[in-house]
Structure 1
Amino acid sequence: MKTLLRIDSSASGQNSTSRQLLDEFVANWLQKNPSGKVIARDVDANPLPHYTHEVLGSLFTPEEQRSDAQKAIVAVGDTLIKELKSADVIAISAPIYNFSIPSTLKSYFDYISRAGETFKYTETGPVGLLSNEAYVFTSSGSFLEGTPYDHQMPYIKTFLSFLGINLVETFTAGGQAMGEAGQQALEKTKASISAL
């Protein structure tokens, strides 16, 4: 049985364009994998604590010396990493906020990036330890993809690659604040997802 981990991050809830794109993908994926399992992780509805000195200090404290509070902090990342490792496919929906990803998604990335678990250091540099496939679904108010203002997709691609995750394809619906042009972009992107 295949497992799909869907990660949503938009603050717009069900009105989110990026979430609608991911809904389309999940429906398509379930048609092809009727016995598949979908794990939902909504980092907007259930935001993670920001990655602070307390988090870092907890991770660097030897396990047997951690306080109960530190154990609870480390357990947050443990849960996310276990969830991530259990998935064959990862699907991320993310709008562009101020030229980059939502801070809630950045927190998620911070928690799953752990040396010895999702990547390791070697003499020739860091090596990713994961091998999932990933699909990314994004949206923006104007058409930013591929412009100097798009710091979102390059960052996501770099981060996933760093962990060893294979980014198979990305889908972007730009112009969502630009009326008819945005609607046409959305329909074209949905058609691309359906054609997978």
Structure 2
Amino acid sequence: MTTLLHIDSAITGDASVSRDLTRRIVAQWRASHPDVEIEYLDLAANAPGHLNADALGFRFPQGADLSEAQRSENALSEQLVSQFLNADVVVIGAPLYNFTIPSQLKSWIDRIAQAGRTFKYTENGPVGLAGGKRVIVASTRGGVYSTTEGGRALEHQESYLQTIFGFFGIKNVEFVRAEGVNMGDAPRSAALQAATQSIAGLNTRAEAQAEAA
């Protein structure tokens, strides 16, 4: 049995394109892997607080005398990082907000970015500890950023997610992209069609990777 962690972060509810795409990705995964166990996080509805002094409890030495607030924050961070580490597949809805990811998604990443859990420091530099997972990101954008050098310089969404999950040791990060969804009916239709085709190919790529391994 595999475990899939399904995460949404869009604040637009039923109008969200990324939420629609993650639902379809997870439904297709379930159809092809009927024994999968699915856990769900809606970060727009239940986002972890931004890091503050109390939320840094997971960085303190084991057995340190923590305050009640620090213990509470530490328990939340432990819950989130354990859930992430236990997942075989992670499906994330990540819309582009102001050239980057939603702050709710960033808060979740800050909680799981823990030395000794998802990465470690060595004399040769940092080493990721969360390898072996598959991360599928539903990337949605109102405009088009992937086709020009200027557009690519502006986006800190896919580039950031590729970097941070790579830092955690995850090499298998895929993007199902729908961009230009706010540029009119024709661009939106083309973007959704491209995303649908990308979703349809996910299982084929999974089988090819399994055979290669």
**Structure 2 unmatched ranges of 5 or more:** 203-213
Partner residue of 1:115? Answer: 115
State the distance in 2 between where 1:62 and 1:134 align.
31
Any idea what SS the aligned residue of 1:63 has? coil
TM-score between both structures, scaled by the size of structure 1: 0.94
Partner residue of 1:148? Answer: 153
Corresponding position: 1:169 with 2:170: no
**Structure 1 unmatched ranges of 5 or more:** none
CA contact 1:18–1:93 (8 Å) conserved in 2: yes
Aligned-residue offset at 1:137: 0.8
TM-score between both structures, scaled by the size of structure 2: 0.87
CA contact 1:157–1:167 (8 Å) conserved in 2: no
Aligned-residue offset at 1:191: 2.0
Identity %, equivalent residues: 40
Any idea what SS the aligned residue of 1:50 has? coil
State the distance in 2 between where 1:87 and 1:58 align.
20
CA contact 1:118–1:163 (8 Å) conserved in 2: yes
Which of the residues 141, 157, 162 maps onto 2:162? 157
CA contact 2:57–2:71 (8 Å) conserved in 1: no
- 1:53-111 deviation digits (Å, cap 9, x = unpaired): 22225632643411222111101110001101111111111100000000000000000
Any idea what SS the aligned residue of 2:7 has? strand
Partner residue of 1:137? Answer: 138
State the distance in 2 between where 1:134 and 1:173 align.
17
Partner residue of 1:102? Answer: 102
Aligned residues: 196
Tell me the amino acid that sits aligned with residue 142 of structure 1.
Answer: G
Any idea what SS the aligned residue of 1:148 has? helix
- 1:5-30 deviation digits (Å, cap 9, x = unpaired): 01111001122111111111101100
State the distance in 1 between where 2:58 and 2:69 align.
9
RMSD: 1.4
CA contact 1:24–1:194 (8 Å) conserved in 2: no
Which of the residues 188, 191, 195 maps onto 1:185? 191
State the distance in 1 between where 2:47 and 2:38 align.
20
State the distance in 2 between where 1:164 and 1:28 align.
26
Higher RCO structure, 1 or 2 (CA under 8 Å, sep 6+): 1
Tell me the amino acid that sits aligned with residue 155 of structure 2.
Answer: D
Distance 1:21 1:165, change over 3 A: same
